[in-house]
Structure 1
Amino acid sequence: MSVVRRSFVFPFILLLLTLGCAEKSEEQGEEKPHVRGIITDFEEERGQVLIENKEDGSVDSGPIWVSLSKDAELIVGGETVTVSLDGTLVGRNAEVWINGVIAQSYPPQTKAVKMVIH
């Protein structure tokens, strides 16, 4: 095989391997929630819930106020709902995915792009 052919085939093989690995990681599922814990309070004026955030292994990492972003997906009991957050959610478990921005207040505040209430 000539050097030119070999130099063309090698990048092509790498491309196929990369695409194959990318598809496999998507099949394994989405990323873990950024916030996970029990909803302990509700602030009606701001439409926020306070979640006692538990990291993996049930380590308490402190409370965080969470509100829904404009296009957030809210799933309650396995069904996607169009209602906003309310006081009936206090005491329930929640998993939250955020856009990466957390306000440096105490407790911290963030907006959810997806929230699943169990």
Structure 2
Amino acid sequence: MKKILVLCLITIFILAGCTAASDKLPDRDPDAIGLIYEVDAESQRILVVSDIENVDISYDEWFEAGKYAAFFKVTKDTTINDNGTVTDFSSLKKGQKVEVWHTGVLAESYPMQGEAVYVNIVN
């Protein structure tokens, strides 16, 4: 009986340490910081453009200025953090400021393309 109780307690401690997603920011600087210029719900991706004041700027203006811009695919493995709460793709809105950490691989198109590992919505 004592062995079963010990085994149950060990299992509880192990399971308590397992989480699918974390609201804890990665321990390195974000790979991209900017405004969500476009949300593509069908493809589950966001276009993030850095160094623009608002999303009312035309595509041509930031494109010709060479602003950092990247499409980030958001997958089931991407953690999205909104003010300390883990959330989902539906929380991402055009005009929000975000910090993005990606897998480290970006297609060198313009805008670049990659996969987001972690997206932090900045309030």
TM-score (norm 1): 0.61
How does 1:1-118 map onto structure 2 within 5 Å? Answer: 30-54=27-51, 61-81=67-87, 83-85=88-90, 89-118=93-122
Give ranges in structure 2 of 5+ residues lacking alignment: 1-25, 52-65
- Note if contact 1:102-1:108 (Cα within 8 Å) is conserved in structure 2: yes
- Note if contact 1:74-1:114 (Cα within 8 Å) is conserved in structure 2: yes
Tell me how far apart the structure 1 counterparts of residues 44 and 75 of structure 2 sit (CA, whole Å): 11
- Note if contact 1:67-1:112 (Cα within 8 Å) is conserved in structure 2: yes
Counting matched residue pairs gives 83
- Note if contact 1:67-1:111 (Cα within 8 Å) is conserved in structure 2: yes
Tell me how far apart the structure 1 counterparts of residues 77 and 94 of structure 2 sit (CA, whole Å): 22
Deviations 1:1-43 (A, max 9, x none): xxxxxxxxxxxxxxxxxxxxxxxxxxxx811000111111111
CA drift of 1:76 comes to: 1.5
Tell me how far apart the structure 1 counterparts of residues 113 and 50 of structure 2 sit (CA, whole Å): 12
% of aligned pairs identical? Answer: 27
Deviations 1:70-96 (A, max 9, x none): 411111132111x2246x511111001
Residues 1:85 and 1:107: Cα distance change in structure 2 (over 3 Å): farther
Tell me how far apart the structure 2 counterparts of residues 112 and 61 of structure 1 sit (CA, whole Å): 19
Question: Greater strand share, 1 or 2?
Answer: 1
TM-score (norm 2): 0.59
Quote the RMSD (CA, aligned, Å).
2.1
